Structure 1
Amino acid sequence: MTTVDDVLAEYGTTHAEQAGIKLADKPQPLYQLLVLTTLMSARIGSDIAVAAAKELWRAGWRTPKAMRGSEWTDRVHALGRGRYVRYDESTARYLVDSAEFLHERYRDDLRNLAEAAEGSPERLEKLLTEFPRIGPTGAQIFCEEVQAVWPWVRPYFDKRALAGAKKAGLPADPEKLAGLVAGADVARLAAALVQVNVHAKR
């Protein structure tokens, strides 16, 4: 019988952790999560998105100001080094468009986005889709990850995570699932269950 401990041991690493983001309720790591979400919003594997994010960090573009100051060709090359090739040119544009939108709307601080969401995960999803490239699926990815540091988003499990819960023999109910782990580990469980669903399809 599969247990939560089994699922977490096998897959319990969030995308933010994979990308080297030390997630906290602070402007820089929250921005990095937004960048990762933007990369994952294209039809591309999460492992490639993570690799591309790491290349952007290596280039020094860890803040919206740094991203806005970067050159398009340099961003394309960084994404290419992460094997993010099919969408490198368009995404290189979206990254700066997103950084500009973040500056204009939220003064470079996603905590202002949290305030605008007024404690509603549903409103948070809607506001996230206003960012370039991020659609409903991307918004869900961001919410699942950010619940580690924004407790008001918990418990957040998208359809893929709930499908993974069913396949693992765990309750497919957000509240019941959240009750199986402590606090911030809800984000780890959500990420793990998405992976259970992905691997079960193979």
Structure 2
Amino acid sequence: MSTKTAVRDLLDRAGTTYAEEAGIKLEDKPAPLYRLLVLSVLLSTRIKAGIAVSAARELAEFGTPQKMRDATWQQRVDALGRGHYVRYDESTATSLGDGAEYLLDRYRGDLRKLRDEAGGGIKALKSKLQEVKGLGPVGADIFCREAQAVWPELRPYFDKKALSGAKKVGLPEDAKRLAELVGDKDLARLAAALVRATLEKDVAEKVSA
């Protein structure tokens, strides 16, 4: 199988971004960016991606920092429970409330202001993201991996987990070389597909360059 054929097959099989899977129509607007942030918090814990995505869907009713902050702790716990996100439900409910309050106080609930403060620097952006409660280095990577769909300065963004997937399917373990295999609009899709190749054995087995 040629490299281009392998990439096309990989995108067909596993190229849905996690944001899309969670029902988030990602745009450079406050609400969808915040929902992506919440999803990134959920995905960064030691829990199956499918459960994190399900929980993010349940939390959609609190889809702005204002709504998340104003929800009771129990309402957040209940939403996480409906998504079967039960192992970390109580601590995550607290983190989401604290994180929402921080975003409102610091950026008026608008992650684009955080982006502006980073001044186009990826390292600065990741550092500022990690000031949000519940979002560590892994969560910041997840956010950037998906946000590259709407924030061009992040492109190409392939974190360690994505590059691990590239190795498993025989694709280049280099962000720039991977970016040459797809157009800008498919970078986030390719990154998500490569993460699935890392996490899901059957994806890697069925796709090989």
Q: TM tier, shorter chain? A: over 0.9
Matched with 1:64 is 65
Per-residue displacement from partner, 1:1-29 (whole Å, max 9, x unpaired)?
26110110111011100000000000000
- Cα distance in 2, alignment partners of residues 171 and 84 from structure 1: 34
Structure 1 gaps of 5+ residues are: none
- Cα distance in 2, alignment partners of residues 43 and 167 from structure 1: 21
- Cα distance in 2, alignment partners of residues 11 and 174 from structure 1: 18
Structure 2 gaps of 5+ residues are: none
- Cα distance in 2, alignment partners of residues 75 and 160 from structure 1: 29
Counterpart code for 1:30? L
Residue of 16, 20, 24 corresponding to 1:17: 20
Q: Count residues with an aligned counterpart.
A: 200
Per-residue displacement from partner, 1:90-141 (whole Å, max 9, x unpaired)?
1111111010010111111000111111111121111111111111111100
Matched with 1:174 is 175
Matched with 1:81 is 82
Backbone CA RMSD of aligned residues: 1.4
Matched with 1:48 is 51
The alignment status of 1:103 with 2:94, answered yes or no, reads no
- Cα distance in 1, alignment partners of residues 70 and 139 from structure 2: 25
Deviation (angstroms), 1:189: 0.4
Matched with 2:140 is 139
**Deviation >6 Å, runs of 4+:** none
- Cα distance in 2, alignment partners of residues 198 and 42 from structure 1: 14
TM-score for both structures, normalised by structure 1: 0.95
Per-residue displacement from partner, 1:74-102 (whole Å, max 9, x unpaired)?
11111101000011111111111010010
- Cα distance in 2, alignment partners of residues 181 and 149 from structure 1: 16
TM-score for both structures, normalised by structure 2: 0.92
